[in-house]
Amino acid sequence: MNKKIKLLIIAGARPNFMKVAPIIQQIRRHSADVANYGTQLEYRLIHTGQHYDEKMSHIFFDELGISAPDINLGVGSGSHAEQTANVMTQFEPICLQEKPDWVVVVGDVNSTMACTLVCAKLGIKVAHVEAGLRSFDRSMPEEVNRIVTDALADLLLTPSVDGDENLKREGIPDWKIDLVGNVMIDALTLNLEKARASQVLKKLQLKKKSFVYVTLHRPSNVDEKVGLTTIMYELKRIADDIPVVFPMHPRTRKMCGQYGISLDNNKGLRILEPIGYHDSLCLTEMARFILTDSGGLQEESTYFRTPCLTLRPNTERPITVTLGSNKLTNIEVLASDINEVLNRRTEIGQIPPYWDGRTSERIVASLIHAS
C-alpha cells in the first residue's frame, strides 16, 4: 500500500533554520530511498518572515544548503501580539490551501506558537520538535510559547529525558511523546567540516582557546538600561584580560543605541554584526569559554565541551548544566565564575544521550509511525 504524507515545515527565526535543515535533508533521503516502505513524504517549507535580515535569515539558507522557502509569509517585526497575530492570519489560508497531514514546528519562537494555534483550530496535526523544555519562568516569552505549543501539539518530539518528565507532569499522555534527541546536534555534525574550515579566527586575529565568545539578546538582559549598561561595562573589563568577540544581535544593538551605550571597539572588545552559522560553530569550538543567553549556544558548547557561562537565572536546557559544560551566572558573580573557568581544563562535561547526529532520522520515523 502506498501511503502519502504531506508536511508543512515552519521556520521563522534564526535558531529555527538549523533545526529544519537536517529534517528536510532526512525527508529528501527518505524520498530517494527505494526501500521507503511504501510511504511517500512530501513537504513545503514555510518561512514566516519573523527574521528577515540577510544576516539573521538568508545567510543560514545558503550555509545550511536549504533551498529558498516555498512560501514566505513576510510578517516581520512587531509587538508579541502583532507578530503572533500576523503569523496566524497569514498562515491560516496556506493551511486551507495546502491541506497538510502534519505541520512540523520547531523550537519556541513566536512563529512556533502562532502556527500551532492555527492548526489546533483547523484540526491539522502538529509535530513539535524540541518539545518539553521548561525554564519554569513565565516572564520569558519563549516559555509561554513552549507551554501553549506543547499543550496543543499531537506529537511531542523531545531532545532529552527532562522534556519527557515535564510533559508527563503536565498531563500529556505517553503515546504522544517521543524522545528523539537534539536536532541542533544533527546540524552541528553535518556542518562540522565547514565550520572547521572557517577563516574567522584568522580574520579576527584570535588564537585557539584564548578568547571569549559572547552572544546576548534576551529581553531580560538587554531591554533595561541599568542591566545592559552594567553588562557592557563588565565586558570591557573582561576584555582587559582576554579578547572578547561579541557578534551583536539587532535587538541588543537597537537597545544600546536607545540608551546611548557606546559600541566603540576598545582594545580587547570586538563588537561585530551578527555572524553566520559556520563562523559561530568555529568560535564555539575554539573559544576558551562562552558567555551567552542563547539556548542554541548552551547546547553547542556542551557538544564541544567548551565551558559556557549562561547569563540567566534559569535554563530550559538543564541537561547542559547537569551533564554538559554549562553554568548559570549573574552579573554579581560573573567575575568569580570567569576566574573559576580560567583555572579549569579547557574541555569539560559530557555529551548527553541522543545528541548523536541521528535525531532527524528518528523524527521522520516517528512522523511516519504516527501517521
Residue ranges binding ligand UD1 (CB under 6 A): 13-15, 50-53, 56-57, 77, 108-110, 141-142, 217, 249-251, 254
- φ, ψ dihedrals at 309, nearest 5°: -110, 120
Q: How far is the CB of 282 from ligand UD1 (least distance, A)?
A: 19
Look up residue 338 and give its three cell numbers: 570567569
Active site annotation includes 369: no
> For residue 92, which of 63, 66, 123, 53 has the smallest C-alpha distance?
123
Nearer to ligand UD1, 15 or 324 (CB): 15
Q: How far is the CB of 285 from ligand UD1 (least distance, A)?
A: 21
Nearer to ligand UD1, 152 or 161 (CB): 152
Look up residue 135 and give its three cell numbers: 525554564
Q: How far is the CB of 110 from ligand UD1 (least distance, A)?
A: 4
Written as one string, the DSSP assignment of 232-279 is HHHHHHHHTTS-EEEEPPHHHHHHHHHTT------SSEEEES---HHH
Nearer to ligand UD1, 26 or 294 (CB): 294
Written as one string, the DSSP assignment of 155-171 is EEEESSHHHHHHHHHTT
- Kindly tell me the burial class for residue 234, based on how many C-beta atoms sit within 10 Å of its own C-beta (0-12, 13-18, 19 or more): middle
Q: How far is the CB of 39 from ligand UD1 (least distance, A)?
A: 33
Q: How far is the CB of 280 from ligand UD1 (least distance, A)?
A: 12
Nearer to ligand UD1, 254 or 344 (CB): 254
Amino acid residing at 302: T
| Structural contact between residues 293 and 301, judged by C-beta atoms closer than 8 angstroms | no
Annotated catalytic residue within 217, 249, 278, 369: 217
* Separation between Cα atoms, residue 145 and residue 139, nearest integer Å: 11
| Structural contact between residues 278 and 286, judged by C-beta atoms closer than 8 angstroms | no
* Separation between Cα atoms, residue 150 and residue 148, nearest integer Å: 6
| Structural contact between residues 34 and 59, judged by C-beta atoms closer than 8 angstroms | no
Nearer to ligand UD1, 142 or 337 (CB): 142
Q: How far is the CB of 173 from ligand UD1 (least distance, A)?
A: 28
CA 104 to chain CA mean position, Å: 15
Q: How far is the CB of 201 from ligand UD1 (least distance, A)?
A: 24
* Separation between Cα atoms, residue 125 and residue 105, nearest integer Å: 11
* Separation between Cα atoms, residue 360 and residue 19, nearest integer Å: 9
Q: Where are the alpha helices (DSSP H) in the chain?
A: 14-32, 59-64, 80-98, 110-122, 141-152, 161-169, 183-196, 200-204, 219-222, 225-239, 250-258, 277-286, 295-304, 319-322, 334-342, 359-370
Enumerate the active-site residues. 217
